[in-house]
Structure 1
Amino acid sequence: MNSTAPALSRTATGHRQPRDRRKLADNVAGWSFAGPASLIILGFSLIPMVWALALSFTDSDLQSPGQNVGLANYRALIADPVFFQALRNTGLLVVLYIPASLIAGLLVAVLLNRKVRGIGFYRTCFLVPYIASATSAGLLMGYIFDRDFGLMNGLFVKLGLPMQGLLSSPSQAMYVLTLIFFWTRFGFAVVIYLAAIQEINKEILEAASIDGASRWTTFRHIIVPSVRPMTVFLTIWGVIDALQFFDLVMTTTKGGPANATVTIVYYIWQLAFTYFTAGYGAAVAYVLFVGTLVLIVGGFLIARRKGAMA
C-alpha cells in the first residue's frame, strides 16, 4: 500500500502539471490577443473619462491647467439658458425620432420581407443613407432645405404654396433636422427588424394563415411580440444615438438660428473649442453621461420587468 500511494501521487502530479501548463499557455495566448485591444480601450476611453472628470472641477481653457473651482461649473448649469435650450432641443429630437424610427423601421422591414424580383436592391436603398457619410448627407440636405435656393422651397413654389424658412427658421429648423436625422438613421432599424422577422418560425406564420388570421392580426399578435427584444435594443440604441447628435448640426445650421438647433454635444463642442471654457464643457459632458446612463439602466430595468428581455 505504501508503494502504491507514491505512484498514484506521482501520476496525479504528472497529470496536473501538463494541465497547469496548458492553462497558463491558454492565458498567455488569450492575453496576447486581448491585451493590445484592452490597452487601446483603456487609453482612448477610460483615461480620457477620468481626465474629463478632473477637468470639470477646474476653469481650464485647454491651454493652461486652470485652477480648481470645485462644483462651480455644475452650479453654473442651473443658470445657463443655452444649456436648457440644448436640453430641450435634444429632448425634442429623442421624442420625435425614437417612435418614428421604430414604427417606420418595422413596417418597412415587413414590406421588405418578401420574395419579389429586385428585393435586394430595395433593401440596399434603405441602408445606403445609414452607411453614407454624415458630412455629405448634411451638405446635401443643407442645400435641399435652403430657404432661398433649396429644392424644397422650389417645390413649394411650383405647387403654389408659400416658401418656408426651413433651416433658417427658429420654429422649423429643429423639426427639419429631426427629419434629416430620421432619414439618415432609420435604415439601421430596418436591417435589425428584417433580421428578427426572418428568424420567426415559419410554421407559426403558416399556422396563423391556415387559421384565417388577417395580415394585421398576424402582424399584431405574432410579429410585434416576436421582435420585442429588438425593439428594446433599438430604443436604447436610438436614445444613445440621438443624445450624441452632432454631425448634422455642424454641417447644416451650426446651432442656429438663435440657438434653435443647439444640441447637448454641439454645445459641449462650442464650450471647449469656440469659447475655450473646457472645464465648464467637461461638466456639461458629465451631466450628459450621467443622464444617458440613467436612461439606459432605466430602460433595461423596465424592459426586464415587462418581460421584453430575458
Structure 2
Amino acid sequence: MALTFAATPRTHTPPPAQRGPRGRALRRNLTGWAFAGPATAIVIGLSIFPAVWAFFISRAKWNGIAPATQVGWRNYQLLLQDPDMIAATKHTLLLTALFVPGSIVLGIVIAIALNQKIRLIGFYRTCIFVPYVASAAATGILAGFVFNPQFGVANDVLRHLGLPQQQFLENQHQAIYIICLIALWGEVGFTTVIYLAALQDIPKDLIEAARMDGASKWRVFRHVTLPELRPVTVFAAIWQTITAMQLFDLIYTTTRGGPLNSTQTIVYYIYELAFQTQRLGYGAAAAYLLFIVTLLLSLLVIWYSRRRGSEVF
C-alpha cells in the first residue's frame, strides 16, 4: 500500500530590515548616513566646532598658555574703539569697493570677448582662468618682483615709455591700489568663467528677436543680455565681497600690512592679534565681528536683488 504525503507550502519570512515601507526607508537612511557620516563628522570637527569654541574664546582674555579670564563682551567693546581696527576696517572697505565692481565689470567684458567664434578660443579661455587656479601666495611673490621699485618689470615699462617711476608697494598711498590690481589679476578668471557660462545659457531666440526688431548691439546688450545676467551678477557680487574682506595670503606675501600699516586689512590684523601678540580672545572677537559684517552685507545684497526681481538664493 503506497503512502502519499502532501507537500506543505513554505512561507518566506522577510528579514526585519525589509518589512514594510518603514523598514526600507530605515535601511536607505542608514545606508546614506554610512556614506555621508564620515564627511559630516569631519565638517563638524574642522569648522563648526572650532567656530563655536572661538566664540567662547572671544569672551575671554587668553594668551593660549595661561588660564583664560572671562571678560564678557569687553573685547567687542574695545574693538569698536580700537584705532588700529578702525584703520583696518577702512582699508578693507576701500579694497572691497574697488575690487568687487572691478572684477564684475572686467568679468563681463572678457566673457563677451571670449564668447566669440575665433581661432584658439580654448587657449585664450585657459589663459584667463590659469591665474585663478594658481596659488595666491605664488601670485603675491611674483607680483613682488614685478612691482619692485628697483628692478621690477613695471618700472622698466614706465622707463621705456618716458614716464616717472613709482614706488608701488613701498608707497603708503599706492600700495592698496596695487594690491587691488594684483587681486583682480588673480580673481577675474572666476567671474569670467561664470559670466561666460551664463552668456552661453541665454536663449538665442531672445537675441534674434531683438535684432529682427531693429535693436542695435548696445540695446541688445543693455535690454536683453544684462537682465539675463542679473542673477549671476548678484552671486558674483556676494562671492567677491567675501573674497575681498577675507583677503590675507596676498597681503602676507607682498606688504605684510605695510608700509606704515597702509595695507593692513581686518584679516591681517586678526592674524597679528592672535599669532604675533598672542591676544587670542581679542583676535577671536575681531574675527566674529568680521563674520557678522560679511553676513549682513551678503543679506543686504540678497534683499536688494530680490527687491529688484532677481531670485538667486
Alignment TM class, shorter chain as reference? over 0.9
Given residue 59 of structure 2, which amino acid in structure 1 is its aligned partner?
A: F
Which residue pairs with 1:58 in the alignment? Answer: 60
Identity of aligned residues (%): 47
* Paired residue secondary structure (1:102): helix
For residues 119-164 of structure 1, the C-alpha deviation after alignment (integer angstroms, 9 at most, x for no partner) is: 1111111101100111111000011111222111122222222221
Alignment of 1:226-245 (within 5 A): 226-245=228-247
For residues 98-127 of structure 1, the C-alpha deviation after alignment (integer angstroms, 9 at most, x for no partner) is: 111111111111111112211111111110
1:80 aligns with 2:82: yes
Of 144-153 and 224-233, deviating more is 144-153
Question: What is the alpha-carbon distance in structure 2 between the residues aligned to residue 216 and residue 251 of structure 1?
Answer: 42
- CA drift at 1:205: 1.4
Moved over 4 A (4+): none
Given residue 270 of structure 2, which amino acid in structure 1 is its aligned partner?
A: I
- CA drift at 1:37: 1.5
Given residue 37 of structure 2, which amino acid in structure 1 is its aligned partner?
A: G
* Paired residue secondary structure (1:227): helix
Of 146-155 and 89-98, deviating more is 146-155
Q: 2:268 aligns with which of 266, 269, 286?
A: 266
Given residue 114 of structure 1, which amino acid in structure 2 is its aligned partner?
A: Q
- CA drift at 1:211: 2.5
Of 150-159 and 275-284, deviating more is 150-159
Aligned residue-pair number: 296
Give the alignment's TM-score, normalised by structure 1: 0.92
* Paired residue secondary structure (2:70): coil
Q: 1:27 aligns with which of 29, 50, 67?
A: 29
Alignment of 1:296-307 (within 5 A): 296-307=298-309
- CA drift at 1:84: 0.9
Question: What is the alpha-carbon distance in structure 2 between the residues aligned to residue 65 and residue 182 of structure 1?
Answer: 44
Question: What is the alpha-carbon distance in structure 2 between the residues aligned to residue 278 and residue 92 of structure 1?
Answer: 27
For residues 55-87 of structure 1, the C-alpha deviation after alignment (integer angstroms, 9 at most, x for no partner) is: 111111122332112222112113311111110
Given residue 253 of structure 2, which amino acid in structure 1 is its aligned partner?
A: T
The runs of 5 or more residues in structure 1 that have no matched partner are 1-13
- CA drift at 1:195: 0.4
- CA drift at 1:17: 3.4
- CA drift at 1:186: 1.1
Which residue pairs with 1:164 in the alignment? Answer: 166
| RMSD value, Cα | 1.4
Which residue pairs with 1:144 in the alignment? Answer: 146
Given residue 302 of structure 2, which amino acid in structure 1 is its aligned partner?
A: F
Given residue 163 of structure 1, which amino acid in structure 2 is its aligned partner?
A: Q
Question: What is the alpha-carbon distance in structure 2 between the residues aligned to residue 53 and residue 195 of structure 1?
Answer: 39
Question: What is the alpha-carbon distance in structure 2 between the residues aligned to residue 222 and residue 46 of structure 1?
Answer: 42
Given residue 212 of structure 2, which amino acid in structure 1 is its aligned partner?
A: I
Q: Determine which structure has more spread, i.e. the larger CA radius of gyration.
A: 2
Which residue pairs with 2:6 in the alignment? Answer: none
Give the alignment's TM-score, normalised by structure 2: 0.92
Given residue 197 of structure 1, which amino acid in structure 2 is its aligned partner?
A: L
* Paired residue secondary structure (2:69): coil
Question: What is the alpha-carbon distance in structure 2 between the residues aligned to residue 87 and residue 136 of structure 1?
Answer: 26
Q: 1:118 aligns with which of 117, 120, 132?
A: 120
